[in-house]
Amino acid sequence: MALSIVAPASAMDYIIGAKGGYYVWRPFLRDIPGSSFSTLESGTGALAGPIFGISFTNDITLSVSGLFGQQTAQWSTGNTYNEKEGKYESTTSYMQEQRYDIDTALSYQVIQGLRLFVGYKYQYLEVEWISSTRQAGDLTSMSVSDDEVEFKIPLQGISIGGSYVAPFSDLYFFSMTLSGIIMRGKFKYSSHEIRYRTFESTAIAGTPDSESDTFDMQQMGFNFEPAIGIRTGGPIITLGMRYQYLRSQFYNQEATSNDGPSDNWMNDHLYGVFMSVMFVL
């Protein structure tokens, strides 16, 4: 998709390159009703991947690109008094997300500079969330609760959109890509909790506690990528930004629920800046 917009290609040209950038992920997990995930902070980190393509004719191009990497976040909530428990609480949390995005696109040049495309999209997220909560009424009644939750979210679907390139000169150009995305897949989670009393090495009776479940999930939204670029005598280089917004839903859940997954729509945001380098062979 990206490579088909940066330069006109002749029939049977091959394009190879790479794309990388720094991104922020604001996870839809924060919007799950009645869950403790509402405290999740946005994850940040570098994402990068390869770009491949082939032009069958001057107007028809097939491209494949990937975006892989890890995004993390760590945060703490200050001391608060839990009236129900009669204790002070403090929590430290850590989130690590591993992302695998693969996009394919078959594009057709309608007029000079304007292309329409349709493609297959695969996305796999693996998220680990660790939270450690300390409670203290006095020195003799301190306890620690460690929660570990793992999410595995494989999704696949289609993207449909268009791209436009406007040259500033023989060297410099502006490009813009806008696409709609529809995906379906699974939302799998497992959790594990252990509670300890301070100064003791054994878990409190009744813990550890574990659970797991799987839900049907769908996402729909859009991806927007404006960029500026330069055609050198060798590589084609672009600098741009990406904003991806997806509405997420557990679509086989009960219509009304205030505790855990329901059919409520949730918001997922991914945005950042990137650079790509491509060669026409």
Give the residue-averaged pLDDT of 105-124.
95
- Residue 86: what pLDDT? 66
- Going by C-alpha positions, the residue among 123, 118, 221 that lies closest to residue 160 is 118
pTM of the model: 0.85
- Residue 26: what pLDDT? 95
Q: Is 107 within 8 Å of 160 (Cβ atoms)? A: no
Q: Which residue has the tokens 């996305």?
A: 123
Q: What confidence tier does 205 reach under pLDDT thresholds 50, 70, 90?
A: very low
Give the residue-averaged pLDDT of 133-152.
75
Task: From residue 24, give the alpha-carbon distance in Å to each of 70, 71, 75, 173, 258.
Answer: 11, 8, 15, 26, 28
- Residue 3: what pLDDT? 54
Specify the length of the chain in residues. Answer: 281
Report pLDDT digits (tens) over 55-68: 988 889 999 999 99
Largest interatomic CA distance in the chain: 77
User: In 3-state terms, what secondary structure has residue 5?
Assistant: helix
Q: What confidence tier does 70 reach under pLDDT thresholds 50, 70, 90?
A: very high
Give the residue-averaged pLDDT of 224-234.
91
Task: From residue 44, give the alpha-carbon distance in Å to each of 99, 128, 184, 191, 223.
Answer: 12, 14, 25, 23, 18
Q: Is 93 within 8 Å of 129 (Cβ atoms)? A: yes
Answer whether residue 32 shows pLDDT above 70.
Answer: yes
Q: Is 253 within 8 Å of 217 (Cβ atoms)? A: no
Q: What confidence tier does 196 reach under pLDDT thresholds 50, 70, 90?
A: low
Give the residue-averaged pLDDT of 211-240.
92
Alpha carbons 198 and 200: distance in angstroms, whole number: 5
Answer whether residue 244 shows pLDDT above 60.
Answer: yes
The per-residue pLDDT of the chain, averaged, comes to 85
Q: Is 128 within 8 Å of 74 (Cβ atoms)? A: no
Alpha carbons 13 and 60: distance in angstroms, whole number: 11
Give me the phi and psi of 140, to 5 degrees please.
Answer: -95, -5
- Residue 75: what pLDDT? 82
Alpha carbons 236 and 160: distance in angstroms, whole number: 25
Give the lowest-confidence range in 105-109, 149-153, 186-190, 208-212: 208-212
Give the residue-averaged pLDDT of 117-144.
82
